[in-house]
Amino acid sequence: MKIAILDAKTLGDEIDLSGFNKFGEVEIYDITLPEKRIERIKDKDIIVTNKVVIDKEVMDNAPNLKLICVAATGTNNVDLEYAQKKGIAVTNVAGYSTNSVVQHTFAMLFYLLENLKYYDEYVKSSQYSKSPIFTHIGKPFWEIAGRRWGIIGLGSIGRKVARVAREFGCDVVYYSTSGIKRKEEFPEVDLDTLLSTSDIVSIHAPLNEKTKNLITYEKIQLMKMNAILLNLGRGGIINEEDLAKALNDDLIYAAGLDVLEKEPIDPNNPLLKVKDKDRLLITPHIAWTSFEARERLVNEIIKNIEAFLEGKERNRVI
């Protein structure tokens, strides 16, 4: 088998990729620009892609291609319909990053809620060393116990965030973006009720026609002035221009984003011009990237290849 890993840099330099060698000849590329796709894939039997787009043009120029392994859960970078027509199997990996994303959700919350940047800088600037008292309450914060946590998208990640939040003593409610009715351990409410009654709102939903621009300026106006809004789902669910305006207008206390509509961030993104930068935390799509999550991801891809070669159905999208 001839295998190409097209964007290995998205998996991290410290992740061992030697497990792919047992399948045959492996070529590893840190990144693959659009104009390099056909050249690198044309003679391959199997390719591994995280975000490199595999479309009709690429597949038509890869006569030996039998399997596309998506190094992620979402498969929007692959033309699934055309792959099916060509008889090319596609696999993905689900659930590998749940613990990592849940952990990052709470890391973002506490960083914002407890003003950790402010307090760290207060000590390191030598102001604390000159204090006449042992403590400093320059920016008060509140406990999340007894507060309402609203979750948008109660999938595997949202559900685990809900359970952890409940252990902290939160009153948890959720809004289903799919509209599918299920028996859940948490009460379901409509979106406006969730936004208007929650102290913390976290998004763990996919981006689709139902969630695109779900959170606009008008929706943020419903929220409490002390509320914290977190997006660990997909960029585009929150209208970024509206969020920047809402923060500048003091509609909510703070926001934390790990995902953006365009990644990497556009240098002209209005979020980069928010007046009070301490009230906005943006991380570069890293919630999924704990070392353990990336190890699980690679191991699952290897198992997907093994299953495909043995003629078994495992994590097959088509």
Fold of 2-96+291-309: Rossmann fold (3.40.50)
pLDDT of residue 181: 86
Mean pLDDT of all residues in 92-102: 97
- The answer to whether residue 147 is catalytic is no
Mean pLDDT of all residues in 8-37: 98
pTM, two decimals, is 0.94
Token digits for 96? 């590998």
The residue assigned the tokens 């990644």 is 263
Mean pLDDT of all residues in 31-46: 98
Mean pLDDT of all residues in 4-26: 98
Kindly list the domain boundaries of the chain, sorted by start residue. 2-96+291-309, 98-282
pLDDT of residue 267: 97
pLDDT mean across residues, the chain:
97
Residue 234 has pLDDT above 90, yes or no: yes
Q: Do domains 2-96+291-309 and 98-282 have the same CATH topology?
A: yes
Token digits for 48? 């591994």
Task: Say if residues 148 and 198 touch (Cβ distance below 8 Å).
Answer: yes
Fold of 98-282: Rossmann fold (3.40.50)
Q: Give the span between the Cα atoms of 69 and 151, in whole angstroms.
A: 31
Tens of pLDDT, residues 167-213: 999 999 999 999 888 899 999 999 999 999 999 999 999 999 999 99
pLDDT of residue 1: 95
Residue 318 has pLDDT above 90, yes or no: no
- The answer to whether residue 285 is catalytic is yes
Q: Which of 37, 148, 279, 285 is catalytic?
A: 285
Q: Which residues contact 177 (CB under 8 A, 6 or more apart)?
A: 152, 153, 205, 206, 208, 210, 211, 214
Residue 280 has pLDDT above 90, yes or no: yes
- The answer to whether residue 263 is catalytic is yes
Nearest-CA neighbor of 103 among 50, 160, 53, 51?
Answer: 160
pLDDT of residue 313: 87
Q: Which of 40, 147, 204, 234 is catalytic?
A: 234
pLDDT of residue 180: 87
Find the helix or strand (DSSP H, E) in which 307 lies. Answer: helix 291-309
pLDDT band, residue 244 (cuts 50/70/90): very high
